Structure 1
Amino acid sequence: MGDEEAEKVKDVAEDVGHAYGEWFRRYMHTFTRRFFEWFFVFLFGYYNISFGWLMAPLFFLVLRDKRAKEKKMKFDIIQSIANADEKDILQEIQRFSNLPSWVTFPDMERVEWLNKIIRQLWPYAGHYVQDLCKFSIEPSMRTALEEYKLSGFKFEKIILGDTPPRLSGVKVYDDTSRHEIIMDMDFAYAGDCKFEVSVSKFKMGIKDLQISGRMRVVMKPLVRQIPLVGGLQVFFLNNPDVDFNLIGLADVFDMPGLSDILRSIVIEQIAHMMVLPNRYPIQLVEDINTADLKCPSPAGVLRIHVIEAQNLMKKDVGLMGMGKSDPYCILRLGAQKFQTKTINNTVNPKWDFCCEALANVIRRQRVTIECWDYDYSPLKSYENDDFLGRANLDVHDIWKNGEVDMWVPLSDAKSGRIHIRAAWLDLDEAASSLELQLEEIRALQTSTKNPLHSAVLMVWVDSAKKLNNIPDPFVRLHVGNSQQETTVRQRTNDPVFEEGFTFLVRNPRTQELKIEVLDHKTNQLQGKIEVDLNVLLKERNLEILNEEHTLSGASGGLAALKLNLTLRILKTALKKDDGDGGPEEKGEVNIDSSTPAAITESISPTSPSSAPQPTLATPIPPKETPSIPVPADVSDSKSAPIKESVPLAEQSEGPGVVTDAGVLVKSESKVSEPSVDECIDEVMSSAASPLMHMGPSVTSGEDSSLRQRSPNEAGVHGLGRIELTVKYGPRNNLVTVVHQIKNLPVEEDGELPDPYVKLYLLPDRSKDSKRKTDVIKDSCNPKYDERFEYAIPSNELTQRTLEVNIINKKGLLFLQRSPKMGQVLLDCGLLDANKVTQWYDIAPAMDDDDE
């Protein structure tokens, strides 16, 4: 018992000692902290240091804490979306705003089976990611950080975590070439990964990485051997959304301004790797065209003209609240970025800025135009500037129309709209097209004063041989002020580069391509080549393929560089028909040049000898329709195709759109054909009657007259016709473009009206739902080309109706008895994605409410 009591006494003594030691450590910690706090306060007072030195760190700490909470909330939301399974998503569908794309867009398919496979493979992806970070990302980051005087970038730890990426929707295109497969995937990753790096002997890291965006996978070419696919091209259509939290020493940089610089570096490196026009190629079969896989030819060039803006928000508040802004614009197409100049002290700036961007794909890519108010920042950070709004242009719409010229309202802004003109330029193999393009450039540059281009040069650097001194070679290419470089090949005299580059050329008759081969370590010139681009204009198809060029200045005179050179002349595009309801070709029908370019979608005309088909854009042959009146502003019946709305039952590609406030307008047909009359009778009985609640009903006399003749230019009610584009966009927004009105009636006293268009998204008739165009003075044929947007969830479309009112502003303070000249009601639940632009007959207004 004595030994046991001794052990207990010993244990009690040890516990007392530990408790005393823990109390002493806590006491010393508190004492030391309080001592330093009072000591610093004493120093501030002793040296008469301003109180602002205490407030500045406190201010930044508060901002940092606020940013951390916002990022944590955003991360939790994205992580919940990325990790939710199908059942959870379906349960939250009615109250969840950020729905996956397969819910919002029916053409995006669910791939839960693929997500299960990715979850199973995720632990095995760690080795590939380590190699990717070590050999691809690390050298690029090291080079980029050297510009900021930061050297020695290195990955210390790479942990992917347990949360795999998720594909929330997949679409496979079925209207592509038979030699390729194109697949779009909505990619989202919000995982528990952790990356630690060292920069200049300081260790730091990131965690909670978030990446989301639309990724495209192109499988081409298809071959006749396993794996049946020759190669893959993986890329993002636009810059993905990237965010992360900093750990370690880097947590100090998580401040406004500094964090923006770091994130911009990361986004730029991702864009440099796999955001169009850059692609991440994966070769699966040896015997394929490597140049076509790694550097395919661009689809065309976009010429974007940012003209002006109106009624921007006032961010620089002055005396009496009469502030202005210092606006500028940033344009992005994939990884390409352009910036206008800054116009000081105005909310109605006129930039007159023109730029050209390479367009590698047509569908699902957009031009983003962001408007900012410039505020001086020593860090040159965008976070210090105030956001004024954003506008988006669909590349497919520009390609289809050849040119668009319209005012676009700024989203995410209280007010403001921007005037944008965008044109699509095709790539032509004919040298004879150069002079015409040069003339167009001279005419444009007199107004914009910006350098424009007439051609595109594509250079494929294949390989070099017999270089000297076993260098670390790379190739540098110059065209005008543009410069691009290949990656460095280590310790070889016969490097294989296999890299492609694309340059915009101002005038190939006067410019040349300069190529230099240099040693990366010594920066010593190994040889150079100068190619006069005028030589390419004399070659067949404007290209020189698989030719070895001797490097001048190389010792021994044996070094050579193997190149492919291809020149393409820019040619102003015509309206195209891509097979899904696009406008007709200008080559088929002479379209009036005075008609403004607009976002239109209609069907190509049929030949006079063919059977009549329901179309949206059908030119009327004068021999077949002598009784149809021709509008006064059209001199030739062939110069202005008349676009007709198609009834629901007559459309073969999908559900139609309610027209004429419930009155269905028939497509053109020959009266002498009884089969067409029978078809119209069936349509009126089966399709039209359930929709009559949308507007005034049609009497039997009117119905009979509709079957006996085609609708005239003034519409079935004699109130004119209006051309509208109505479609549901990818950002859960209803886009409406008011193009033009034809043949409005004159007033009773013979005066011309002053019309404008007012829109409501019913059942909401509040101020927030109202949209208005400009007033066109003294015109029965006004042209607007103004675009409006409504933010609306997709599951509410069937409950909404778009009310389009045409109002005459003639008179003093609207003293007329009824300012409305007519209206059109469109059921948003019956919108047809294949026919978004149509002509609608204006019906009498159902109410006479004043403005």
Structure 2
Amino acid sequence: MQSDKPEASEPKGAEGPSDTEEKAPSAVATLDAPASKGISAVAVLWTFGKCLGALLPVYLAGYYRVSTSLLVFGMMVYTGWKHAREAKEARLKCAIQLQDNEQEYTSMKVSRIKRDLPAWVNFPDVEKVEWLNKVLQQVWPFVGQYLEKLLVETIAPSIRASSSHLQTLSFTKVDMGDKAMKVVGIKAHTENDKGQVLLDLYISYVGNVEINVEVKRYFCKAGVKGIQLHGMMRVILEPLIGDVPIVGAVTMFFIRRPKLDINWTGLTNLLDVPGLNVMSDSMIMDAIASFLVLPNRLVVPLVPGLHVAQLRSPLPRGVVRIHLVEAQNLAAKDNYVKGVMAGLSDPYAILRVGPQTFTSPHVDNTDSPKWGEMYEVIVHEVPGQELEVEVYDKDPDQDDFLGRAKLDLGIVKKSIFVDDWFTLKDTTSGRVHFRLEWLTLLPSSERLEQILKRNESVTSKTADPPSSAILVVYLDKAEALPMKKGNKEPNPMVQLSVEDVTRESKTCYTTVNPDWEEAFTFFIHNPLKQDIDIQVKDADRVQTLGSLTIPLSRLLSNANLSLDQWFQLDNSGSASRIYINTVLRLLWLDEERIGADVSSGLAAGLSKQLPQQSSPHPSFATEGVLRIHLLAGQNLVPKDNLMGGMVKGKSDPYVKINVGGETFTSHVIKGNLNPTWNEMYEVVLTQLPGQDLLVEMFDKDMDMKDDFMGRLKISLKDIIDSQYTDQWYTLSDVKSGRLHLVLEWVPTSSESDRLDQVLQFPSRWFTGEEEWKRA
């Protein structure tokens, strides 16, 4: 009986008869055999029809003398569309299969990679919530009913009213499918305000949604069949109250834009054409971002009487002042004499915090630029929001990528002051120097003079001086605005200006009593000398419906630095007024909370005494240098195919080495299964347990994802114990291939008289290099 069962290690797709085929009666095979030998006339006619259909466009193109270039262009567009459609359908199908068989897939994958995971890898702060997914699955049909009612009864009439061309629009089918949204993990934050509950939900929605739209007037049908949405949504339950339902409101938003993939049908199939698909998905993401991506929030009040505008636009958590100081050892991207001579780069940096983006000037012909730029960003949520940095080489045609780095701003909030170098990722070399300051928001004016004096000492190449405060304006509503000419109701909108910075509100159509409920934030350099100017205008920006000017010094004299009231509009009707809540907050660098080890780096020159005694970490002064010599490879797996896969080619191998958080990437050797690199890498490591040297090999492809060619993992403890290792390592997870590495552990020494010895004999490998080459 045991011989009939497959091996436990045999994959499902292995060749050989299955249990069903072994148990099937032989009579079935006998009955089926004659049918397979016969030739169906219908099949022959169908094949002939397909050949005729394929040749007919070619014949028509020649008959009507259609331009060959136009025909080729059409074929290219169709091929791109077909490829995009098939790829999108494959992604959706794989995602649905994974969701249906998640337990089986996960257990299979974990059993394969369990040996590759170190024992200390775990995620204790993110929890699985299968009970919540079961609840969502149970209520999903009713969510579908609600969305169908919303589309048919609310959204469709508003679309029909927006244009005369869409008066015959209707939703012919709304089916949200049976695949509910899943929460793959949840994290609860307990370090924030005690009056709220803050949750991070990692959402994965792979839905077999089917929504069809028809415009009968133009015989137009379009729709969606399948959606993927993946991202991290933050849910805030606040305010907490002492009565049922305990939670006053639920606020939801994405800190970063989620990933979206839509499978179009009908006329909207055209949106899958390469180029248009990116545009269509980005337009939909822009619509989602206007409601659900920071700084925008969706607020669902659960009790009456809440100030929803302040929940929708709360005061920021703080402000981060970013000093982009310099960079070092950036990759050289400029080449001369058609690539024969390597030059330097013309680097510049792009900084992003949520929707706020800053671009530094570029510095010509250097790998170590000094920028000396300063930027100020508003932080709405910590932890969660990150500072993202990308460095590029300025070119006349297309700028070259030089690396990226990322930092959680929650670290800056805890440290108050960070002055450090950040290693660039996804590149061969380079690091960026940042000085970051966390500025808290003060609700009093006592320290204004101290802040203004300190800002005078902050130097920067930027024209604007540092800000001393931020101003948040809650634009609520207006009443009794004047009518337009001809006694027509206006379409009011508001322009808010502080010096040369102007923000605009949304437009409320055909009303003299608009409700905006929006918030705007401004950086203020000196509130003693600045005003905020408010202009209420018609949507055409020509007719002014009223104006208002508020000196910011008026807020300084008020309690809590705020004004929350009705204001009479100037140059308007006698009863025209506007309700605004203005809040001023001073930006304070809390020097008392900054540690003594970083205080000396402040521009203000703080003086703190170092502690008399300190106990270093047990790993202190146990650093050493791991020197990795990547020499050669042998008998690698061929990955490049020729003549449509009929002939096996070679490979273009390169190696990625990961150790201690550092990643090194070798050069690509073209068309070789026995490459020779002779490259050396060095990394400073601390002798901590559980560290490994991970080596992965790939085949470089230009048009698709690089093919995997094997991996190996070496324990750092084994390298340190042996001090010096020179051997061939067999690659795992592939049929063949091995890699020649020389690994040296060089411990640090506190004896200065050994410097000459180190300079004379920097590496034991060099002494044996000639011997290795001869071998």
* Category of TM-score, reference length = shorter chain: 0.5 to 0.7
2:461 counterpart of 1:447? yes
Q: Please tell me whether the aligned partners of residues 238 and 335 of structure 1 are also in contact (alpha carbons under 8 angstroms).
A: no
Number of paired residues? 613
Flag the 1:294–1:62 CA change in 2: closer, same or farther, 3 A. Answer: same
Q: Please tell me whether the aligned partners of residues 591 and 639 of structure 1 are also in contact (alpha carbons under 8 angstroms).
A: yes
Structure 1 position 514, deviation (Å)? 1.9
**Aligned partners of 1:312, 1:57: CA distance in 2, in Å?**
43
Where structure 1 has 5 or more consecutive residues not aligned to the other structure, the ranges are 1-16, 46-50, 378-383, 576-584, 598-633, 647-656, 663-731, 737-755, 770-792, 821-851
What letter corresponds to residue 130 of structure 2 in structure 1? E
Q: What SS does structure 1 have at the residue aligned with 2:412?
A: helix
Flag the 1:427–1:38 CA change in 2: closer, same or farther, 3 A. Answer: same
The match for 1:639 among 604, 610, 626 is 610
What letter corresponds to residue 254 of structure 2 in structure 1? F
The match for 1:759 among 685, 689, 692 is 685
2:352 counterpart of 1:332? yes
The residue that corresponds to 1:499 in the other structure is: 518
Identical residues among aligned pairs (%)? 31
**Aligned partners of 1:73, 1:797: CA distance in 2, in Å?**
39
**Aligned partners of 2:599, 2:560: CA distance in 1, in Å?**
31
Q: Deviations over 1:681-727 (max 9, x none)?
A: xxxxxxxxxxxxxxxxxxxxxxxxxxxxxxxxxxxxxxxxxxxxxxx
Q: Deviations over 1:301-331 (max 9, x none)?
A: 1122333333444556552342655544332
Correspondence list, 1:253-652, <5 A: 254=272, 257-314=275-332, 318=336, 319-321=338-340, 322=342, 327-343=347-363, 347-373=367-393, 386-450=400-464, 452-469=466-483, 470-520=489-539, 524-545=543-564, 547-555=565-573, 557-574=574-591, 585-586=593-594, 593-594=599-600, 638-640=609-611, 643-645=614-616
Correspondence list, 1:690-729, <5 A: none
Q: Please tell me whether the aligned partners of residues 757 and 804 of structure 1 are also in contact (alpha carbons under 8 angstroms).
A: no
Q: What SS does structure 1 have at the residue aligned with 2:177?
A: coil
2:57 counterpart of 1:33? yes
Correspondence list, 1:672-821, <5 A: 758-759=684-685, 764=692, 806=748, 811=755, 814-815=758-759
What letter corresponds to residue 503 of structure 2 in structure 1? Q
Q: Deviations over 1:12-55 (max 9, x none)?
A: xxxxx999998997687455312134358x6558xxxxx7x777
Structure 1 position 451, deviation (Å)? 5.7
Q: Please tell me whether the aligned partners of residues 660 and 691 of structure 2 are also in contact (alpha carbons under 8 angstroms).
A: no
Q: Deviations over 1:44-88 (max 9, x none)?
A: 58xxxxx7x777666666666666666566556655555554564
Residues 284-293 or 29-38, more deviating: 29-38
**Aligned partners of 2:346, 2:274: CA distance in 1, in Å?**
21
Structure 1 position 226, deviation (Å)? 2.2
**Aligned partners of 1:450, 1:135: CA distance in 2, in Å?**
51
Flag the 1:159–1:421 CA change in 2: closer, same or farther, 3 A. Answer: farther
**Aligned partners of 1:501, 1:234: CA distance in 2, in Å?**
19
Q: What SS does structure 2 have at the residue aligned with 1:221?
A: coil
**Aligned partners of 1:135, 1:423: CA distance in 2, in Å?**
51
What letter corresponds to residue 164 of structure 1 in structure 2? A
Residues 261-270 or 757-766, more deviating: 757-766
Structure 1 position 566, deviation (Å)? 0.9
Q: Please tell me whether the aligned partners of residues 238 and 333 of structure 1 are also in contact (alpha carbons under 8 angstroms).
A: no
Correspondence list, 1:205-224, <5 A: 206-224=224-242
Q: Please tell me whether the aligned partners of residues 347 and 366 of structure 2 are also in contact (alpha carbons under 8 angstroms).
A: yes
Q: What SS does structure 1 have at the residue aligned with 2:527?
A: coil
What letter corresponds to residue 355 of structure 1 in structure 2? Y
Structure 1 position 118, deviation (Å)? 0.8
| TM-score between the two structures when normalised by the length of structure 2 | 0.66
Flag the 1:514–1:282 CA change in 2: closer, same or farther, 3 A. Answer: same
Residues 125-134 or 459-468, more deviating: 125-134
Structure 1 position 392, deviation (Å)? 0.8
Structure 1 position 450, deviation (Å)? 5.0
Correspondence list, 1:117-128, <5 A: 117-126=135-144, 128=146
What letter corresponds to residue 532 of structure 2 in structure 1? L
Q: Please tell me whether the aligned partners of residues 759 and 805 of structure 1 are also in contact (alpha carbons under 8 angstroms).
A: no
Where structure 2 has 5 or more consecutive residues not aligned to the other structure, the ranges are 1-40, 484-488, 624-657, 663-681, 698-710, 721-744, 765-775
Correspondence list, 1:59-138, <5 A: 75=92, 78-79=95-96, 82-86=99-103, 88-95=105-112, 104-126=122-144, 128-129=146-147
**Aligned partners of 2:412, 2:406: CA distance in 1, in Å?**
12
**Aligned partners of 2:557, 2:352: CA distance in 1, in Å?**
35
What letter corresponds to residue 296 of structure 2 in structure 1? N
**Aligned partners of 1:288, 1:796: CA distance in 2, in Å?**
59
Structure 1 position 533, deviation (Å)? 1.4
Q: Relative to total residues, which structure has the larger strand share, 1 or 2?
A: 2
What letter corresponds to residue 685 of structure 2 in structure 1? L
| TM-score between the two structures when normalised by the length of structure 1 | 0.61
**RMSD across aligned positions (CA):** 5.1
Q: What SS does structure 2 have at the residue aligned with 1:494?
A: coil
**Aligned partners of 1:549, 1:463: CA distance in 2, in Å?**
11
What letter corresponds to residue 758 of structure 2 in structure 1? F
What letter corresponds to residue 196 of structure 2 in structure 1? E
Flag the 1:454–1:394 CA change in 2: closer, same or farther, 3 A. Answer: same
Q: What SS does structure 2 have at the residue aligned with 1:548?
A: strand
Flag the 1:450–1:371 CA change in 2: closer, same or farther, 3 A. Answer: farther
Q: Please tell me whether the aligned partners of residues 758 and 807 of structure 1 are also in contact (alpha carbons under 8 angstroms).
A: no
Q: Please tell me whether the aligned partners of residues 194 and 208 of structure 1 are also in contact (alpha carbons under 8 angstroms).
A: yes
Flag the 1:511–1:263 CA change in 2: closer, same or farther, 3 A. Answer: farther
Q: Deviations over 1:400-435 (max 9, x none)?
A: 111212221222223332222221111112324334
Q: What SS does structure 1 have at the residue aligned with 2:413?
A: helix
